[in-house]
A and B are shown apart, each in its own frame.
Chain A
Amino acid sequence: LAADAAFWSALALATLRLSLPLILACFGGLMSERAGVANIALESYLLFSAFTAATVAHFTLSPHVGLLAGVAAAGAVGWLFATICVYGRGDQIVVGMAFNFLALGLIPILCRALFGVSGGTPALPVEARFGGIWLFAFLALAYAVYVAWMLRQTPFGLRVHAAGENPVALLNQGVDVHRVRVLAIVQGALIAGVGGACLSLALSSGYARDMSAGRGFIALAALIFGGWRPLPAVLACLAFGFTDAAQIQLQGREIAGVKWPTTLIQTLPYLAALTVLMFSRRRVLAPSAINRDLETFRSN
């Protein structure tokens, strides 16, 4: 039984560790989508901030400076994404995919220019990374409380909500809808950047190629499953984090007398996200102005 207790506490800790990047990325998606901008670019936020955080931590030997740099990088990426979506009036989904390609293309080139190899940063020494995940757990919790309060109780939060549900009403109030959307996206990108830094500075020792492994997309599935509300979305992220932790635990074990191949077990988190999307009919909860630019409302 003692071994069992050790097993379960290890599983719980692994769940928390693997959920944190999901939760933080999910907040990034939440801020953007609640303001009416569909955000498929979360993956690129994670990759850019994980890479920048690891690179800066490598040169400064300070995880905290690395974290700040990662957050700033994600904020810059988010600002660019917001500008092209909102002012450039590009199709939000297409622009989002292009940002993911940009991350996949630009990072290996920068990596090779800085470190001579395109596969990732060198392993960070202990003093350049975080010893635990507690700072990130605290930031995630604090932001969860903040965002739940902010969206309901502050003028900015209500404007974000209106920008996503009925931007014309907001426009008629004399509010600059574009500005609200850009600010919301950038704020979301900053918190998602914390998630990226968590990946490279706390969950592993440096940046490795494509290290987010689709977490940006799983976070989006969690956001949808959580009905675009902060606390249910966090719970959904924890559930997906659990499947990821379970997947790692299950590798090399016998289930029902069969030793399942690792290659198939590794697909569990994606299968879990797909299953959730298949069995939830939640479209009605989506912000109604999502993926529509303001002009389409004006012409109606």
Chain B
Amino acid sequence: MNVSVWWKNSAPSMAMTLVALIVGLGFGGLVALAVGENPAHVIGILVRGSVGSSSALAMTLFNATPIIFTGLSVMWAFRAGLFNVGAEGQMIMGSLAMLSVAYATGAASPWLAWPCVLAAGFVGGGLWGALAGWVKAYRGAHEVLVTILLNFVAFGAIAFSVVTLYRDRASQAPETWAVAPMFHLPALPVGTAHGPANLSLLLALTTSALVALALWGSVFGFRQRLVGGASEVARWNGLNVNRHIVLAMFVAGGLAGWAGLSEVFGYTFRLREGFAAGSGFMGIAVALLGRNSCLGVVLSALLFGALQTGSLALDIETEGVTREMTLVIQAALILTLASEKVFRPFLGRVLRG
């Protein structure tokens, strides 16, 4: 493609991303100011707490891993014209499926057991997503409402698992018993020897490359994008749009289903109360900020992983600001990107000079 054409097409979009980042962080700073903290101090803590040491960096990579998966999940759905707010629930159901299969295949060879676990994660999350897709396609309810309600059911399912079903009676805290050592993913050589950054990060990066290949290099991906971009055209060309909606939610759910790998098989080796804790919802901001491209998702997942890690330090090191600062920045960022139609003409003028 001609460079000037490429620039003309993507410059406003990149500028918009920058504007959103500035507005998001700026709003976060205003909130910090309002509760009596110095914004510069808060940002200092955020940066130091996320990339300031090798253990902080390892934590950032660890936190980025699940949101690469959920970001890809939300992005796939967006590309197919759907808004997947259910990555949180799909992540939980995928993790429960992986955990169950890991318990069942604990005595088998890893070469047999690991593929089963990964398949269970994708199918478990995928079916939870496909259920929402089915209600959307054949019953006409909005997928956002359905996936949100399914999230609440998934919260019940995970509470049931850690409190009753797989409860480790030896532990004081509500958590399941651990998976067999052969399921422990090796740590990456960052931070301490025990992670938390682990092999699942590489799996996440591989998956994002595969997703790009599937969306832009396969007939299936083309059809999914056609259904998302021009469903009438898809219909005239004989595509079964409803079936593609269900399939899209299956793939989106499956991608989210792997989001638990990092924590369950790479760090805690079990499910604990409070698992997921917003990683699914963060996928929305990640997909939007990443402009629904795989590279964009990976980059903004790293950013949000850093934000999440840094904001834990806010809990400890400041009086007024809590870890929820991530959510505030996320909200301001999404709102800016959503009202881009207001900024766009202005940005276009500025960029044209």
By a beta-carbon cutoff of 8 Å, the part of chain A in contact with chain B is 38, 40, 84, 87-91, 93-95, 97-99, 101-102, 104-110, 112-113, 118, 214, 217-218, 220-221, 224, 261, 263-264, 266-267, 270-271, 273-274, 277-284
B321 on the interface (CB 8 Å rule)? yes
Q: Is the beta-carbon distance between B334 and A104 smaller than 8 angstroms?
A: no
> Residues of A contacting B145 with CB < 8 Å?
40, 217, 220-221, 224, 277
Between A and B, 25 residue pairs with Cβ closer than 8 Å are: A88-B342, A89-B341, A89-B342, A94-B288, A97-B144, A98-B330, A98-B334, A101-B281, A104-B327, A105-B327, A106-B31, A106-B328, A109-B31, A113-B34, A214-B148, A214-B149, A217-B148, A221-B149, A264-B156, A270-B150, A270-B152, A277-B141, A278-B135, A278-B139, A284-B140
Known: A98-B335, A105-B326, A271-B153. A280 touches B163 (CB 8 A): no
Q: Is the beta-carbon distance between B146 and A274 smaller than 8 angstroms?
A: yes
Known: A108-B322, A109-B320, A267-B156. A94 touches B328 (CB 8 A): no
> Residues of B contacting A271 with CB < 8 Å?
153
Q: Is the beta-carbon distance between A261 and B160 smaller than 8 angstroms?
A: yes
> Residues of B contacting A102 with CB < 8 Å?
327-328, 331-332, 335
Q: Is the beta-carbon distance between A109 and B321 smaller than 8 angstroms?
A: yes
B53 on the interface (CB 8 Å rule)? no
Residue of B nearest to A106 (CB): B328
A-side interface mostly: helix
Q: Is the beta-carbon distance between A261 and B163 smaller than 8 angstroms?
A: yes
Can you name 9 extra interface pairs (CB under 8 A) apart from A88-B339, A217-B145?
A89-B342, A91-B338, A95-B335, A108-B322, A214-B149, A214-B152, A221-B149, A263-B164, A270-B150
Pick from A106, A109, A218 the residue with the most CB of B within 10 Å: A109
10 closest A-B pairs by beta carbon, nearest first, are A105-B327, A283-B140, A88-B339, A267-B156, A90-B338, A113-B35, A102-B331, A105-B328, A263-B159, A98-B334
CB of A81 to closest CB in B, whole Å: 10
Q: How far is the CA of A40 from the CA of B146 in the complex (A)?
A: 12
Residue of A nearest to B314 (CB): A109
B-side interface mostly: helix
Known: A214-B149, A224-B141, A277-B149. A84 touches B335 (CB 8 A): yes
Q: Is the beta-carbon distance between A101 and B331 smaller than 8 angstroms?
A: yes
Q: Is the beta-carbon distance between A110 and B338 smaller than 8 angstroms?
A: no
Q: Is the beta-carbon distance between B164 and A261 smaller than 8 angstroms?
A: yes
By a beta-carbon cutoff of 8 Å, the part of chain B in contact with chain A is 31, 34-36, 83, 85, 135, 139-142, 144-146, 148-150, 152-153, 155-157, 159-160, 163-164, 281, 284-285, 288, 320-322, 324-332, 334-335, 337-342
Q: Is the beta-carbon distance between B322 and A93 smaller than 8 angstroms?
A: no
Residue of A nearest to B288 (CB): A94
> Residues of A contacting B321 with CB < 8 Å?
109, 112
Residue of B nearest to A223 (CB): B145
Q: How far is the CA of A95 from the CA of B325 in the complex (A)?
A: 18
Q: Kindly identify which residue among A93, A109, A113, A218 contacts B144, using a CB–CB cutoff of 8 Å.
A: A93
Q: Is the beta-carbon distance between A273 and B149 smaller than 8 angstroms?
A: yes
Q: Is the beta-carbon distance between B327 and A101 smaller than 8 angstroms?
A: yes
Q: Is the beta-carbon distance between B328 and A118 smaller than 8 angstroms?
A: no
Q: Is the beta-carbon distance between B339 and A84 smaller than 8 angstroms?
A: yes
Known: A84-B335, A94-B334. A104 touches B146 (CB 8 A): no
CB of A54 to closest CB in B, whole Å: 18
